[in-house]
Amino acid sequence: MQETRPPARRAAAQVRALRAMLPRALRAPGTRARFMRAGLKPGALRTPDDLAAIPILRKGDLPALQEQAPPFADLLGLPLGRLARVYLSPGPILDPEGDVPDYWRFARALTAAGFRKGDLVQNTFAYHLTPAGMMLDAGLRRIGCVVLPAGVGNTETQADLLRRLPVAGYAGTPAFLLTLLEKARERGADPRRDLRLRVALVSGGILSESLRKTLREDFGVTVRQAYATADLGCVAYECAAQAGMHLDEAVFVQVCDPRTGCPVPDGEPGEVVATALNPVYPLIRFGTGDLSVLDRARCSCGRTAPRLTRILGRVDEVPKIRGMFVHPRQVEEALSTFPGVARFQMVVSHRDHDDVLTLKVVVTGPATPGLADQIALVLREKVKLRATVEVVEAAALPEGAKKVVDLRKWD
Ligand SMILES: [Zn+2]
């Protein structure tokens, strides 16, 4: 089984796949130009890590690149006439679909999430223009699930279908799953008695642990998540351990510093940069713009692929403090051990050529003595960040205030 092979065997297989893909990838003028500009000879590639010499191809640059060299920025690995479908996803970015079963590789993610042959699955991802609906549809069909192609919206109809049909699985965003289940209950269904729904694979939205718990405890649905993009297909997916998302076998992922393009040490946040081992659309060093952390520790499920701990947000919305991205959500998690903290604000400034973080917090009720120091300690342990913590009056930090204020001047 590929998912449980020793990491060294996976690495060797990925090198072989990369080498096998390169001749076709380099027939695409866009890819050839990138290799030439980087001064990289394809024959000199020993490991996928050698690709780091090639500057990141940014997802945010694709709309302009596709406009300059329509339709696929000269990056397609085969003639357009041999594709199965073409999509337009937000950006706007055109996405090709190759003519192979489960092109987007969702079968593994669905199996890891508990979907089984014969399950009836309500797929609420959009089927029009964007590939999300077909991505899941193809994976579900690959493992023998029966698909109800529900698409987005029609909440009442969809809630009724959950009851009328023995729907066992859900695919869609986490928020819409909750909406549907609440609507079904509002329309008279007892979720545990009248519904058969037991598994869900969610993507395209933040799945908080509290939402996961509600869906499990109130509605009896086990929810797992996957990380995918319209360009790459499935990149990573959760297993039963629910401790991060295992990287898919067909993508080579580096977590990189977006400014330098170099991989960051394991455990530090950086941009997810992926090379798709996909001869149809061989994207090399593709910068997703999503921020995550790579974890190579062994997983109790037996899968040996490294995991992305979670998606922290977009690279361009997250401050970098002393060379490290610090997402407000990381701070929020660290603060969750202090029930009295109502809200916070990260203020980043510059002093003597060093970044300084001041964390302002508002507490409900009187502040306990030493609270600021305790918070600073937890931040240092959990986020690896030195910060000055200030407990401020509620009026000084109104509700809805920005989570991050960056006072540094970039010149
Ligand atoms: Zn696992």
pLDDT digits (tens, 9 = 90+) for 282-302: 999 999 999 999 999 999 999
Q: What is the mean pLDDT of the chain?
A: 92
Instruction: Give per-residue pLDDT as tens, 245-286.
Output: 999 999 999 999 988 899 999 999 999 999 999 999 999 999
Is 411 inside any structural domain? no
- CATH code of residue 372: 3.30.300.30
Look at residue 410 in the predicted model and tell me its pLDDT.
53
Using alpha carbons only, give the angle 368, 370, 376 rounded to the nearest 5 degrees.
120
Question: CB under 8 Å to 334, separation ≥6 — which residues?
Answer: 375, 378, 379, 382, 383
CA 301 to ligand 1 center in whole angstroms: 4
DSSP letter (8 states) at residue 241: T
Q: With H, G, I as helix, E, B as strand and everything else as coil, classify residue 316.
A: helix
59-63 mean pLDDT: 92
- 290 with 390, same domain: the answer is no
Q: How far is CA 400 from CA 66, 175, 328, 336, in A?
A: 38, 21, 14, 18
Strands of 269-368, DSSP E: 270-276, 286-295, 307-314, 320-321, 324-325, 341-351, 354-363
Give me ligand 1 centre to Cα 26, in Å. Answer: 35
CA of 27 to the centre of ligand 1 (A): 37
Q: How many domains does the chain have?
A: 2
Do 125 and 156 reside in the same domain of the chain?
Answer: yes
Determine the pLDDT at residue 49.
Answer: 81
Q: How far is the CA of 209 from the centre of ligand 1 (A)?
A: 17
* Domain CATH number, residue 132: 3.40.50.12780
- Give 12-32 pLDDT, tens digit per residue: 999 999 999 999 999 999 999
How far is ligand 1, taken at its centre, from the CA of residue 314, in Å?
A: 25
Q: Is residue 6 part of a domain?
A: yes
Q: Could you tell me if residue 101 is inside a domain?
A: yes
Q: 301 burial class (0-12, 13-18, 19+ CB within 10 angstroms)? A: middle
Identify whether residues 187 and 328 lie together within a single domain: no
- Kindly state whether residues 184 and 130 are assigned to the same domain: yes
Tell how far the Cα of 240 is from the centroid of ligand 1, in angstroms. 6
Q: Residue 317: pLDDT above 90?
A: no
| Domain contains 365 | yes
What pLDDT, on the 0 to 100 scale, is given for residue 365?
82
pLDDT at 172: 96
Last residue in a domain, options 315, 342, 367: 315
Structural domain range at position 204: 2-315
Do 260 and 336 belong to one domain?
no
Look at residue 131 and tell me if it is in a domain.
yes
45 within domain boundaries: yes
Residue 53 lies in a domain: yes
User: What is the CA(303)–ligand 1 centre distance, in A?
Assistant: 5
Are 62 and 84 part of one and the same domain? yes
Measured in Å, residue 323 CA sits from the centre of ligand 1 at 30
Q: Is 210 exposed, middle or buried (0-12, 13-18, 19+ CB in 10 A)?
A: exposed
Best CA proximity match to 88, nearest among 107, 72, 69: 72
Q: Are residues 107 and 77 in the same domain?
A: yes
Q: Compute, in angstroms, the gap from residue 362 CA to the centroid of ligand 1.
A: 38
The candidate with the shortest Cα–Cα distance to 210, out of 254, 174, 246, is 174
Is the Cα torsion angle 60, 76, 310, 50 positive or negative in sign?
Answer: negative
pLDDT at 411: 42
Pair 289, 360 in one domain: no
Cα 233 to middle of ligand 1, angstroms: 20
Q: Letter for the amino acid at 32?
A: R
**What's the whole-number mean pLDDT along residues 65-92?**
95
Q: Could you identify the residue written with the tokens 């023995």?
A: 166
Q: What is the DSSP string of 110-124?
A: HHHTT--TT-EEEE-
Question: Do 395 and 310 fall within a single domain?
Answer: no
pLDDT at 371 over 70: yes
Does residue 289 sit in the same domain as residue 374? no
Contact 163, 184 (CB under 8 A): yes
* Ligand 1 centroid from CA 232, angstroms: 21
Cα Rg of the chain (Å, integer):
23
7 CA to middle of ligand 1, Å?
14
Question: Which carries the bigger pLDDT value, residue 320 or residue 62?
Answer: 62
Residues 359 and 232 in one domain: no
Both tokens of 105, joined, read 């590789």
Instruction: Please indicate, yes or no, if residue 361 is contained in any of the structural domains.
Output: yes
Counting residues of the chain whose pLDDT is more than 90, the rounded percentage is: 74
Cis peptide preceding 369, ω within 30 of 0 = no
Cα 199 to Cα 120, 154, 180, 215, 348, distances in angstroms: 11, 21, 14, 10, 42
